[in-house]
Amino acid sequence: MKHGTQAPTEWRSEIVPVIAVLVFSAAYFLLFFNRFAGLRSGDGEFGGGIAFLAGLRPYRDYFTAGPPLNALKSALELAAFGKLLIVSRTLAVVERCLIAATLYVWLRKLFSRNAAWLGAVLTVVVSAGDHTDPLASYNHDAIFFAMLCGLVATYATEASSERKAVTLAAFAGIFGALSLLTKQTIGAFALLSVGLCGCLAEVRMRTLGRAARWGLAFVVGTLLPISAVAIYLWHLGALRACVQMMFVSGPRAKASHPLVFVSREIMIAGFYHWWLLLAVMAIGVSGRALYLGVLRENDIAGRSKVFLLSAGGALVLLMAKTVADHGTRMLLKDTGKGAVYFVLLGTAFASVIGLQQVLNSVGSSQVRALQITLFSLLALAVAVSLSLSFPAFEAMALPGLGLLVAAIYAGAGVNGRRFVLLVTAVLVFFQVCEKLAIPFGFDHQDEGAVKEARSPSSEPMLKGMRLTPNMVGLIDAVQSTIQSRAGNNGRLFTYPEMGLLYSITGRYPPTRTASHNIDVVEDGLAISEAARLLAAPPAVVVYAKPSETDMHVAELVWREGHPSGQRKITEALDQITARYDLIGTYQLMPQDTPIRIYAKPLR
């Protein structure tokens, strides 16, 4: 790794900082990784793997709007280590730690050890801060592959020979393709940004012919995994359905036309206007330091303080856990949203600075400018592509927040650095407090605080998990109802989607898909799903009927205020449950929508 124009840093000297990043990241995630069930849209990876092992294939046997790689990966993990939810969670923690270490290595090529450590640690904490983050997530899989694509391309910019540069370009293309096969938007944006930056680097520093060969190698690398997966899907007879679901039906549930994404971004920014204002103020305060940090080749000389930073970080984690264990309320809600808008604005600013520097510099300065530009453009691409799923999602902080924090730290004076350290500590403290207060929540189904999640479940697939008593009671009630009222072949249906219940009961719905979230299922499919429910009523229904207000808000965000096909599903469920026996009513938290279990009457 290089630090500006300095001589290559001995890799041995980076072992301790990397270990410190890994340990800190693991300590953070181990505070809550097995303390929530992820009832609502939280076990998608686990559910996909379980379904695959049960013989269900995406596109052929059920509708899904995403690429297949996440389900394939999950199936391999569960087949190797056991069909347990904790297997997915544990391996997700390992992945998040590797993401943090990769980010540190990438930042270390551009900034000092202290700046890289600070940027990596803050980013990995903030990027997991969204209440809907289930840890085992296709979003972070796709971001991780995109980061590897960018890191390998960064090494290609300083390759000593054309053969090495072209080889690295091919590997960058492979990682970009893996990102595309995990989430199409992130992967497509990552491939575009890295491919353009890589070719630009070759044109500026070498020749047009070498740039063409670099681009060709990148394209060939990209096509290898895509071709392999396409052949597999063709063998299943699902290739055409895959393309249709990924690029037609799936996007139709998000927006009817491209301008909807812009109006939705503005709408959500209005809702989070205080965090947007704070992000704008942060850019104003740190703009000069960010500008200098992007331009400088060398950080201000100083001894490494990774040990002190690690000790301080551990103290912040301990303080936050103590407050969360004894406090009754979150100190501050949605602290990560400010970081999301800061990344969107900051990476755009850094990209402009980097491109300007590329055009005006030569030699080693140009190499660093190209690497900064590649990093910032990829970070901006990840943030923008994720915003298409939801405009303010904390995963958007990866990897851009790390770049911005490291650059600001590098460009600030002594007092400025102390302020950066203080802000970082405060952000980590509030983010950890918030995560321990609500480890997971989605669509009016917030799971209880970590301090309340102490009950084991009798379900074999939940071995090793510790959940709230309400959650354990709900899961046990669903399982007992299935056993007593569904017979050997009775179906289960949950609405809104509660995928975990399908996985642990092994009973799948009579519909085309198991997830009927409004941003996943377009209206035509939703209407046909309602007809399937009426034609083949499930034996057991788990139903958390959304209120009229909740439905209207969802339609305002995802359907521009127009009535959605979701209403047909609720109408069908109302007809079915009116004839069924009410087995029980459960509520995860006092403010949550009640969840009712219905069963077909005994004859």
Residues 381-397 pLDDT 10s: 999 999 999 999 999 99
User: In 157-207, where does DSSP find H-type helix?
Assistant: 162-180, 184-205
Which residue shows structure tokens 């996007």? 251
Q: Is-contact 102 148, C-beta < 8 A? A: yes
Q: Which of 493, 535, 534, 528 is nearest to 514 (CA)?
A: 493
Q: Is-contact 440 150, C-beta < 8 A? A: no
Helix, strand, coil percentages (3-state) for the chain, rounded to 5, are 65, 5, 30
Q: Is-contact 133 50, C-beta < 8 A? A: no
In the predicted structure, residue 224 carries a pLDDT above the cut 90: yes
> Rounded mean pLDDT of the chain?
92
CA dihedral angle for residue 236, residue 238, residue 242, residue 245, rounded to 10 degrees: -140
Total-model pTM: 0.95
CA distance 227 to 509: 32
> How would residue 297 be classed by pLDDT, with cut points 50, 70 and 90?
low
> For 454-479, how does the pLDDT look when each residue is reduced to its tens digit (9 = 90+)?
999 999 999 999 999 999 999 999 99
Helix axes 400-411, 414-437, angle to 10 degrees: 150
Region of residue 310 (left: phi > 0; alpha: psi -120 to 50; beta: else): alpha
> For 304-333, how does the pLDDT look when each residue is reduced to its tens digit (9 = 90+)?
788 888 889 999 999 999 988 887 566 678
In the predicted structure, residue 3 carries a pLDDT above the cut 60: no
Query: Which DSSP category does 597 fall into?
Result: E
In the predicted structure, residue 301 carries a pLDDT above the cut 50: no
Residue 363: Cβ within 10 Å count: 9
Which residue shows structure tokens 């530009």? 373
Pairing mode, strands 595-599 and 492-495: unpaired
Burial 270-282, CB ≥16 within 10 A → b, else e:
eebeebbebbeeb
Pairing mode, strands 595-599 and 540-543: antiparallel
Between these two residues, 191 and 333, which has the higher pLDDT value? 191
Q: Which of 293-307, 469-483, 553-567 has the lowest average pLDDT?
A: 293-307
